[in-house]
Amino acid sequence: EKAGVSVGSRGGIFMADSQENKQKEQNDVSEKNFMIEKIKERPVNKKKLLRRTLITVSMAVIFGLVACFTFLVLEPVISNWLYPEEEPQVVVFPEDQDEMSPEQMLAENMQQENQNSQSSSVPGEVMEQEQIRELLSGIILDLDNYKQIYSALAQYVAEMNRSMVTVTGVSSGVDWFNNVNESKNQSSGVIIAQNGKQLLILTDYSPVKQADDIIVTFNDGTQADASLKEKDETTGLAVIAIELDTLNEDFLKNDITIATLGSSNIKDIAGLPVVALGRPMGTNGSLGYGIITSSASESAASDTTYRILQTNIVGSQNAGGVLFNLQGQVIGIITNGKSATDMKNMVCAYGITELKRHIEKMSNGEKFAYLGLKGVDVTEEANSELGVPYGAYIKEVEMDSPAMLAGIQQGDVITGFGERVIISFDEYTNSLLSMKPGDSVELTIMRQSQQEYKEMKFDITLTVLK
């Protein structure tokens, strides 16, 4: 029995070993099978790949656009915060002072020069015209005197020309054969101000209206690029600007002069000596000497009137430039087409007094508010004899203007502009010049109805003259 047990145990052990060996063999076979398996790549889904590519590109484009927009918006803010830029100074021209008549100025100069040898009948007062004539009657001019006079005028002109420039508007175009054509239109200009960042020049609007480039040539031949600051359609004038950092500092200090705007609102201005500079003869750099012969006429324009200064200077019908008095002040801006039909070649000019506010607005880059009225002052005779109330009498209402659309009519008299009382057309003009396009104003007008004037009020939104 023991032997049988022993044999049986050995048989069981042998069987157990056999099973283990078989299991190992199976595992080895499995491992061998695993090692010889081929790894196949997953097939490419082209549609899915294209869709992901398009999404990625689209997201990149959107990100780029957002980044560019954010940079454009924030860059000026950040730059101004890190490097604050000074704003241009506001240009303001002084108001006219009470001016003496030419006779009074001449008398005062003579009195100062002859105070040791001549005496006035009333000490400390301006001499009478009889005394002036008496003094002039004893003066005899010879050839040397005329030479001295014209030599002095030549020196004066040389000094005033430091304020004058030539403005060239350059335009490019293509003809029928695709050839590039370049056209140049010129006018004169006068340096009127500098605002800390720009040099400002008053000139005609027509040469720069369609210009691609604006070139300014100074009296010494120096050239600089300019840009349009603002225009005035009613007068055909414009202010152009040259960046100061494009000009040499020594040149600004030593080679140019900013002109002084004087006054054309002078009592008895007829007879005042003037010099016309710019292009009074139709060519740049020409000049003319003469006197003011008349200042009685006016030129009506949209929402304003201009005083016309007539001279005895014979010039071109295409004249331009400025009128200087002998004190070195600009008293007129030469224009054309305003002379009488039988005096077409006589140089005439807009009086500078009526232009100052317009030039001031253009120099500050401000647009003009437009209402669309032409009018005159109510005279004392019209008030006393016809009962017309004092104010701005409306002679014409322009078609499709804000005034016409609001119901203003010819013959109305403006007596109030907002809270301001209006007693003349000049006051109406100055009130409008203080407004901006888009502003609203309440106009008080007097309208004739059954032999009497009745008050009416209109709320009007101002626009810009196109």
Q: Which residues pair with 215 in a beta bridge?
A: 168, 225
For residue 164, the SS3 value is strand
pLDDT tens for residues 200-221? 999 999 999 889 999 999 999 9
Triad 298, 304, 309: Cα angle to 5°: 30
Residue 171, Cβ neighbours under 10 Å: how many? 16
Q: Which amino acid is at 340?
A: A
Mean pLDDT of the chain: 82
Q: Which amino acid is at 167?
A: V
Tell me, what's the pLDDT at 113? Answer: 46
pLDDT tens for residues 22-78? 666 666 555 555 555 555 566 656 777 777 888 888 888 888 888 887 777 777 667
For residue 19, the SS3 value is helix
Compute the average pLDDT of residues 401-416. 95
pLDDT tens for residues 357-366? 999 999 999 9
Compute the average pLDDT of residues 336-355. 85
Q: Which residue has the higher pLDDT, 5 or 26?
A: 26
Tell me, what's the pLDDT at 60? Answer: 84
Q: Which residues pair with 310 in a beta bridge?
A: 294, 348
Dist CA 122 CA 132 (whole Å): 14
